[in-house]
Amino acid sequence: MRIDLLRVVILAISALLLALPARSEDALTYRALAPPHWDGKSAMPLLLYLHGYGQTSDEIANDKDLVAAVAEFGALFVIPDRPGHAWAHRGAPAEGRDDFGFLRAVIADAKAKFPIDAQKVYAAGFSIGGSMVWDLACHAAQGFAAFLPVSGAFWLPYPERCETGPVNLRHVHGVMDTTVPMGGRTIFGRYTQGDVGKGWDILRATDRCGSEEDRKTREELLSCQTWSSCASGHQLQLCIHDDGHEIQPAWLLGGLRWAAALPGQKEKP
């Protein structure tokens, strides 16, 4: 599919101008990129994407391959910014800030400006953005059909329970990741990235899944395990690759397609 990048950029700039209120820590600053083949009126899926530490929405919007992957799926690509270029998930330095409320406001604002398919709202994120997605899935999952974190996980303390209940979640991680190791690590002597396996146990318990996966598959350098017979009716997928701290556009597109094929979703785009 040919991507008209000029039209994507024009739409992104227009959406950003619409979304910029007075400057403050709680300003709804975000970029919204509509797919170039959108007819201007049909309801679209919405992908909320949370960038990694130190990144900005400008950087993500200028990543042609990532933008093209989301455009191919046909989703509105919503990319928020926060002060410090980081996220306030539990256990993070900015933990006291209400990023859950901020993200809910961003989605509400995007829905007010664009026609959105409410059954196809997804959250993805990379690195600390991925960790924020894990927290969304556990503590603020209302309104999301699926979660697609990459190279992030819970930080300590681990949640005792996920109060918003079962979720659909696909996680991608590299076994050679030293920035967010799968086994976790402590940074700055006081903040601890959690173990992906322990976090996965919390998600399996929340979804009431068995200890063993239902199937194993291969996809774009990923080895994936899928729990599709969880008693909650939700699904989990854990995909591992042999490299380090990274995100590939094909993985994001694969996650979106996985989410769109879940029970209860409409026909895959």
* Cβ count within 10 A of residue 47: 24
Q: In terms of DSSP H, where are the helices of the chain?
A: 5-19, 57-61, 64-73, 99-113, 128-139, 196-207, 249-260
Residues in the chain: 269
Q: Cα separation of 256 and 269, whole Å?
A: 10
> How much is the pTM?
0.90
> Measuring CA to CA, which residue among 38, 16, 37, 36 is closest to residue 28?
16
C-beta separation of 247 from 151 below 8 A: yes
One-letter amino acid of 68: A
pLDDT value at residue 28: 80
Q: Cα separation of 27 and 164, whole Å?
A: 26
pLDDT value at residue 24: 40
How far apart, in Å, are the Cα atoms of 182 and each of 73, 198, 242?
29, 10, 12
Q: Residue-wise pLDDT tens for the chain (269 aa)?
A: 333 433 433 344 334 433 333 234 457 899 999 999 999 999 999 999 999 999 999 999 999 999 999 999 999 999 999 988 999 999 999 888 999 999 999 999 999 999 999 999 999 999 999 999 999 999 999 999 999 999 999 999 999 999 999 999 999 999 999 999 999 999 999 999 999 999 999 999 999 999 999 999 999 899 999 999 999 999 999 999 999 999 999 999 999 999 999 998 855 44
One-letter amino acid of 209: C
One-letter amino acid of 19: A
Task: Return the DSSP state at 155.
Answer: B
The domain ranges of the chain are 5-260
Q: Cα separation of 148 and 248, whole Å?
A: 13
Q: Cα separation of 136 and 132, whole Å?
A: 6
Tokens of 186: 């402590």
Pairing of strands 76-80, 44-50: parallel
pLDDT value at residue 266: 56
C-beta separation of 256 from 150 below 8 A: no
Task: Return the DSSP state at 84.
Answer: G
Q: What angle do CA 147, 151, 156 make, to 5 degrees?
A: 85
Q: Cα separation of 187 and 112, whole Å?
A: 40
Q: Which CATH superfamily, name and number, covers 5-260? A: Alpha/Beta hydrolase fold, catalytic domain (3.40.50.1820)
C-beta separation of 76 from 110 below 8 A: yes
Task: Return the DSSP state at 74.
Answer: T
How far apart, in Å, are the Cα atoms of 199 and each of 12, 135, 153, 171?
35, 11, 7, 11
Q: Cα separation of 114 and 121, whole Å?
A: 13
